[in-house]
Structure 1
Amino acid sequence: MITYLDADIRPLEQGWTMLLCEPGTFEGPDSINRALARLNAPVPGTVAQALFEAGLFDPAYPTPLHGKEAWYFRPLLGEAPGPAVLRLEGLATIADVYFNGALILTCNSMFEAHDVAVELTGKDELAICFRALAPHLEKRGPRAKWRPQMMSSQGLRLIRTTALGYMPGWCPDIHALGPYRPISLIRAQQYALSDLHIHADLDEDGTGVLNVSFTLNTPVDNATLSCAGHSTALIAQTNGHHSARLKLGGITPWWPATHGKPALHGVTVVLDGKTYALGLTGFRRIRLDRGHDGKDFALIVNGIKIFCRGAVWTNADITRLPDTAEDYAPWLALAANSGMNMIRLGGTMTYESADFFKLCDQLGLMVWQDFTFANFDYPISDDDFKAHVQCEAEQLLSASQGSPSLAVLCGGSEVFQQAAMLGLKEEIWQSTLFTSLLKDISAVLRPDVPYIDNTPMGGAMPFAPNEGVSHYYGVGAYERPLEDARRANLRFAAECLAFAQVPQQTTLDQHLPVPPVHDPRWKARVPRDRQASWDFEDTRDHYLGLLYEFDPNRLRREHPARYLHLSRAVTGEVLEESFSEWRRAGSSCNGALIWTFQDLMPGAGWGLIDSTRLPKPVWYAARRAFLPVHVSMTDEGTNGLGVHLHNDGPQSKSLMLDLACLRDGKTAVVSAQRTMTLEPHASVTLAATTLFGAFFDTTYAYRFGPAAHSVTVATLSDADTGEIVSQAFHFPQGRRTAMYAASLTSTLEQDDTGWFLTLNTDQLAQSVHIAVETGRPEDDFFHLAPGQPRRIRLFTEGQKPEGEVLMAGSDQRFRF
């Protein structure tokens, strides 16, 4: 796309009306009585959004829209006569654009933007017809070598549109239709840049390297490139092409926020004395380390191996498909606040806008970007299809160029896995779409970003977790024991740990006030694989039984409140246990991304955050597991208890480690304390017996008589302030043995920064839940150790908070 400098760019957001009809009802815009198009339509927006705002569409019970035709109208009365450019940044999906009744554009891809030159008269009209997608989905194309069952239409492989809305059991059937990206009128002024390329990298010696090139529409006498106080001349070549290479010694690099500061620097060009901003960039060096045997998968950023943790993004709103910073910011702020350093944009979703990457740049969130290809055998031999793929890939990478947050490019999701699981040989499922076309485009436009053909891939089968990238569900859908998190020898999980995550009760009360679990309205929101005899609630129940030794079916019938409490707690426990294995020094794992970041509808979906943007209990567990300064413990059997310490940040940390084994959840039978300094970017493992200075059966592996304790507590505190930084718990006899009806005390207080609730207990309290009537706590569903008060911030809208505190071991409720 052309970058217009000094241009008058006016978004066409207001004044649109819409008419929904059956396919072929009208031959063209001239045959439509404008009085029929009475529905106000937001642009950018979707047909579903317009109908919802008019009270004609229920996202909970969506009406199919892929069989409808939608006409959008926008008068351009009063516009100053003259030439202009009509920019359409995204039309879903098959669309004809008319200007004054004449067809000026036919769109065949949801993922392409278009510029069309028009001549304004001041009495013009714009009309767009979004054709029904269903007839196109029913067309036959080249014979597919395999047919994935997760999609409701095999025709999706032939059309460049999102799979959202076509995955039963994964997401609601809300079909993308309409102008979901901005439409603007551009009146060009003096300068316009085409073929703009911005490439920022970091040399091993810490020197930033900025390469910028473009073609200028008009000659200039002087052109200069500037960044971070450094400047160099842009060299003019033939046909208006300009380029420059700028070296910036000692530049402050960009880091993922877990490991440093995500520093950004402005890039400007000066053309004949006038300065124009090209945006912000960051300097970082990302390399992919495959290990000495070629089987590993680790990201090395600025020379440091990064343990990547985060989740897979779905969408900010499946009804609207928004693309603005205002829509993204609340979600991404929660990702950054939870200690994530990576977000994956998966192949089953849709592309996000440049605003998404800009926010991730600022927040220090790395982005793993799949191209939107998933599961299908795509017709890459078709020249027209290939041309659309090339256009969408080039536009995507051009829009995000210079963005330091883009860390991995991936050809697509589960294409290799799908075919391999059906028993097909590698030569059948390997495709030049991934091995050459997308790879070559990525190498040209983002040479600073590693590219992989598909996810998962590597190993004896592409889905084997012990080589390359995997989608790991050993712990999870395949109901393996927690020890499988280590036994699988996982290298990198681009997705993992999918469960039906129960939201907070306030969300259920407001948006899904039905009996939990077996009500059909509840079950409709529970994710499942199509045609499977189980769903992800069954998976959650399996681990509830495993960790708490309750029969989940009986518990649900006899004690539904406790069942829900443990259902909210158990997935967080599984998450923390798994990441304790994966983050420890010596682990084969270099990163894991949870499936998924957010729900698309209220209910027990996969998301860490519900569709109202309220964090679920499991989000708090992720926040604890992802802390840059962190302590965890793992059961090493007869080797005792391993205590793992991490300092991901760039500064050394002076810390106090306390380790105590408690009898009956209250009395220390053995304890130790050590002051230590953790160096930057360091991970350390200590044996508990080393800290104690003598043998003690911390894991109850030797079983010389009855167990002396029910829980071990590791507390990592700031050595100067005494503030608890991180805490971990180990249950040698299981969680149920350590389930106590503790007596809690609470103190509510306010200071200049807000409200705080201080909790204390005389005995271990498991999975303490702070139910705030308005707002949310800073931490939730955490274990509370005796004699170690927790001061928890309460996020409220100014008023004095009220609520109650609950825990797993008792039916007591403590009001505050």
Structure 2
Amino acid sequence: MFLAHEVPVTLGGEATLTLRFRALHPDLAARKGRARWRPRLAEPAGLRFVRTTLLGHMPGWCPAVHAVGPFRPVELVADAGPLRVRAADLRTAYDGRDGRLTLTLTVDSRDGARPPATVEVAGQTAALAWIDADTLRGDLTIPGVEPWWPHTHGAPALHAVAARIGDTRIDLGRTGFRSLEVDRGPDGQGFALVVNGERIFARGACWTPPDIVGLSGDRAAYEPGLTLLRDAGANMVRVGGTMLYEADAFFDLCDELGILVWQDAMLANFDYPTDAAFLDGVRAEIAQLLDRTQASPSLAVLCGGSEMEQQAAMLGLARAAWAQPVLMETLQGELAVRRPDAVFVPNSPSGGALPFIADSGVSHYYGVGAYQRPLDDARRAGVRFAAECLAFSHVPDGLSDGALGVPAVHHPRWKERVPRDTGASWDFEDVRDHYLETLYAVDPRRLRYEDPDRYLRLSRAVTGEVIESVFGEWRRAGSTCAGGLVWLWRDLWPGAGWGVVASDGTPKAAWHAMRRAFRPVQAALTDEGVNGLAVHLLNETAAAIPAVVTLTALRDGAVPVFRAERAVALPPRSAQTIPAAALSDRFFDLTHAYRFGPAAHDVVVLTLTRSEGAETDAEPIAQSFHFPKGRALPRADLGLTVEVRHGEDGWALTLTTRRFACSVHVEDDGYRAQDAWFHLPPGAARTVRLLPRAGTTKAPDGEVHALNASAPIRYRGNA
């Protein structure tokens, strides 16, 4: 499936192209060879012999839609003209100030001429020298070139590259200049990407194809999802080994949007053959991938596949059987030749005493999540880099629920769409319910049948609360973690799947939580026990930010019983921690750690605002919240008000509240809120843009909800 084929043909008049696609399963039955283990992820077991996507073959979470037919377009290329470029080898490097480009062109020149040739990039031009009758080569240094950055840390600058041979101009697309290294940490067990000399906290999600039936590979298919990923603050996307190699447009967009790509080889879970024919096929597919993405600065990691080492270890095989060294050496060798500027990871997960240990190398972290560990396990586990994490059955919004055509929660068809590990006696709705009970002090089973609407609202909110809590922990100063990629980006079919985006492309509550957790300029709170609250401030940008930190404790969500404020400087590329106690001249038990009587407050609000001299922006840069009594706030009249506005940018709601409003969200058949499922403290207005849904022509007409509001607030716009 993954190999492109070039077939020379001579066409004389009318011609017919016939493609034959044999049935997969009879072919698998003829394959011989005993595997050392048999995974439960995909079926049939014979898939290990063939090079095809596992999509459609994973019954625990993926629809049974098999890939059949041409994977990518069939093109007829006319072999005419005096010159044809057969290959272009384009290498870039960046030393922190200057960029360097090395170009080798292999051409077919029919007349044998060797005209003068040049290469041009970023306003600089250099000569290309003829090495032999078919090969040209040249080097170009670009002083002070603007480098390519992940969008969270700078501008993803791209530069057009063109060659000229005689009168023929050859467009070589665009490239970026960046350096890339791995920081293993002082103990040699870490994994952090260093881009242009700066250590990057990589965050994002594991990708799913936008069209599982057609497997579309054009820009129109990729752009909505990748733009939404960038808008969530993600700076990395992982294409996992259970998926497929995406088309050139995918990498072009990641280049433009400033999103790093972690690319798995399409190998996952199986014990793969090591015969020469299989290895040659894998070598060829990786070579083609690296060649066609050679100018792409976004490609950062090539990984040998997903969970092969983990599968062998968990099934009890001896340590010597975990790795597949011949296969990994094949992949690493191709990377060294074709993309030495990218990082190689043998397998995901790997690197620890056990492949899946979190505190060494690359892990798949499900301590918080599938293994139902408490939230503080995110720190205790000492995660270094989570190439997968935080899988939940994320409930979509009401309109996406309806795509199933059955009532949410109770219907068997709803339940069959909830992801599960094959053979397990539990599913990921059970995992979500565990945290629902832990964080909101409710009985999910009782709530599900007594008040299903309340159950669904809390279920939408809780997975986002967990995501924010874990990434707040991982991104703080002093954390061992250098990255986390949420499993999974988008659902493959309607239902409460792993995706933080529904199958129709609508963001779920978890997407909004990711957007808050991934902000380049961030403020977060952690409970440090008897040491009180810690205030964590981050600034990943290249500019210093003058700011003000405000900490407020509220009783009954309305009465300030503690307030502290301090001007702070956020240096560029910085992370700092301030004890909350240092912000005030008097003791106040913000975490209720000392138990001197009942807690005097139910919520602590941390607000970070930008300041310029004596002026402070009204809109906060970031906010964080701590609930000393837990998140189970009683429902009450919050004094929530909504004003509908219409301007050049469309419709918007301005929200105010007299009491703290928890997980505020909008329900409107014609619009979705750009921001949702956020907490709203009293005393400040919050403006939320309304984005029209497809086909909407009417004015907004909906409700604003908060989890602790006694009733929603109705609004209606005037057309």
- Normalising by structure 2, we get a TM-score of 0.96
Distance 2:294 2:315 in 1: 38
Q: Does residue 305 of structure 1 match 2:196?
A: no
Distance 2:129 2:61 in 1: 52
SS at match of 2:684: coil
After TM superposition, give the deviation of residue 566 of structure 1 in Å.
0.1
State the match for 1:39 in structure 2: none
1:732 partner letter = P
Question: Match for 2:73 among 182, 191, 216?
Answer: 182
Q: Out of 694-703 and 543-552, give the one that drifted further.
A: 694-703
After TM superposition, give the deviation of residue 140 of structure 1 in Å.
3.1
Q: Percent identity?
A: 50
After TM superposition, give the deviation of residue 406 of structure 1 in Å.
0.5
Distance 2:382 2:634 in 1: 30
Question: Match for 1:374 among 253, 256, 268?
Answer: 268
Deviations 1:180-210 (A, max 9, x none): 3101111023322234211112114x11111
Distance 1:709 1:276 in 2: 68
State the match for 1:651 in structure 2: 543
2:699 partner letter = K
Query: Displaced runs of 4+ in structure 1, greater than 3 A?
Result: 737-741
Distance 2:392 2:4 in 1: 37
After TM superposition, give the deviation of residue 501 of structure 1 in Å.
0.4
After TM superposition, give the deviation of residue 293 of structure 1 in Å.
1.4
**2:349/2:355 contact within 8 Å kept:** yes
Q: Does residue 634 of structure 1 match 2:526?
A: yes
Deviations 1:374-419 (A, max 9, x none): 0111102x11111111110100111111100011110100000000
State the match for 2:115 in structure 1: 221
Q: Does residue 360 of structure 1 match 2:360?
A: no
After TM superposition, give the deviation of residue 343 of structure 1 in Å.
0.4
Q: Does residue 806 of structure 1 match 2:705?
A: yes
**2:661/2:709 contact within 8 Å kept:** no
Deviations 1:734-768 (A, max 9, x none): 11146554221000111222211011111111111
Q: Does residue 394 of structure 1 match 2:293?
A: no
Q: Does residue 623 of structure 1 match 2:623?
A: no
Q: Does residue 245 of structure 1 match 2:139?
A: yes
After TM superposition, give the deviation of residue 807 of structure 1 in Å.
1.4
Distance 1:604 1:492 in 2: 27
Distance 1:741 1:176 in 2: 54
After TM superposition, give the deviation of residue 239 of structure 1 in Å.
4.4
Deviations 1:36-74 (A, max 9, x none): xxxxxxxxxxxxxxxxxxxxxxxxxxxxxxxxxxxxxxx
State the match for 1:8 in structure 2: none
SS at match of 1:115: coil
After TM superposition, give the deviation of residue 799 of structure 1 in Å.
4.3
Q: Does residue 751 of structure 1 match 2:647?
A: yes
State the match for 1:86 in structure 2: none
**1:602/1:611 contact within 8 Å kept:** yes
Question: Match for 2:2 among 83, 100, 111?
Answer: 111
State the match for 1:529 in structure 2: 421
Q: Does residue 728 of structure 1 match 2:630?
A: no
Distance 2:139 2:324 in 1: 36
Q: Does residue 141 of structure 1 match 2:37?
A: no
Q: Does residue 276 of structure 1 match 2:170?
A: yes
State the match for 1:58 in structure 2: none
SS at match of 1:350: coil
Distance 2:520 2:37 in 1: 43
State the match for 1:89 in structure 2: none
SS at match of 1:556: helix
Question: Match for 1:769 among 660, 665, 671?
Answer: 665
**2:87/2:107 contact within 8 Å kept:** no
After TM superposition, give the deviation of residue 811 of structure 1 in Å.
4.6
After TM superposition, give the deviation of residue 369 of structure 1 in Å.
0.3
State the match for 1:457 in structure 2: 350
**2:527/2:534 contact within 8 Å kept:** yes
**1:760/1:788 contact within 8 Å kept:** yes
State the match for 2:395 in structure 1: 502
Structure 1: segments with no counterpart, 5+ residues? 1-109
Question: Match for 2:219 among 325, 337, 343?
Answer: 325
Q: Out of 676-685 and 730-739, give the one that drifted further.
A: 730-739
SS at match of 1:547: helix
**1:740/1:763 contact within 8 Å kept:** no
State the match for 2:476 in structure 1: 584
State the match for 1:742 in structure 2: 638
Distance 1:679 1:291 in 2: 23
**1:609/1:616 contact within 8 Å kept:** yes
State the match for 1:517 in structure 2: 409
Distance 2:15 2:214 in 1: 28
SS at match of 2:76: strand
Distance 1:600 1:689 in 2: 47
Distance 2:336 2:634 in 1: 55
**2:203/2:485 contact within 8 Å kept:** yes
1:144 partner letter = A
SS at match of 2:424: coil
After TM superposition, give the deviation of residue 297 of structure 1 in Å.
0.3
**1:665/1:738 contact within 8 Å kept:** no
Question: Match for 1:403 among 296, 310, 313?
Answer: 296
State the match for 1:489 in structure 2: 382
After TM superposition, give the deviation of residue 242 of structure 1 in Å.
1.5
After TM superposition, give the deviation of residue 718 of structure 1 in Å.
2.4
SS at match of 2:577: strand
Deviations 1:193-229 (A, max 9, x none): 234211112114x111111112111142211111101
State the match for 2:464 in structure 1: 572
State the match for 1:448 in structure 2: 341
Deviations 1:8-56 (A, max 9, x none): xxxxxxxxxxxxxxxxxxxxxxxxxxxxxxxxxxxxxxxxxxxxxxxxx
Distance 1:650 1:815 in 2: 43
Q: Does residue 686 of structure 1 match 2:582?
A: no
Distance 1:139 1:537 in 2: 39
**2:239/2:261 contact within 8 Å kept:** yes
Q: 1:531 to 1:190 in 2, by over 3 A?
A: same
Distance 2:311 2:189 in 1: 21
Distance 1:291 1:435 in 2: 24
State the match for 1:609 in structure 2: 501
Q: Out of 278-287 and 719-728, give the one that drifted further.
A: 719-728
Structure 2: segments with no counterpart, 5+ residues? none
- Normalising by structure 1, we get a TM-score of 0.85
Matches of residues 547-562 of structure 1 in structure 2 within 5 Å? 547-562=439-454
Deviations 1:649-708 (A, max 9, x none): 111222222110111111111101222221111111111111123221111111111111
**1:620/1:781 contact within 8 Å kept:** yes
Matches of residues 231-270 of structure 1 in structure 2 within 5 Å? 231-270=125-164
State the match for 1:794 in structure 2: 690
State the match for 1:155 in structure 2: 46
After TM superposition, give the deviation of residue 330 of structure 1 in Å.
0.5
SS at match of 1:356: helix
Distance 1:324 1:280 in 2: 18
SS at match of 1:508: helix
SS at match of 2:223: helix
Distance 1:560 1:717 in 2: 38
State the match for 2:23 in structure 1: 132
**1:576/1:621 contact within 8 Å kept:** yes
After TM superposition, give the deviation of residue 798 of structure 1 in Å.
6.3
SS at match of 1:319: coil
Matches of residues 50-199 of structure 1 in structure 2 within 5 Å? 110-188=1-79, 189-199=81-91
Deviations 1:223-260 (A, max 9, x none): 11111011111121134222112111100000000000
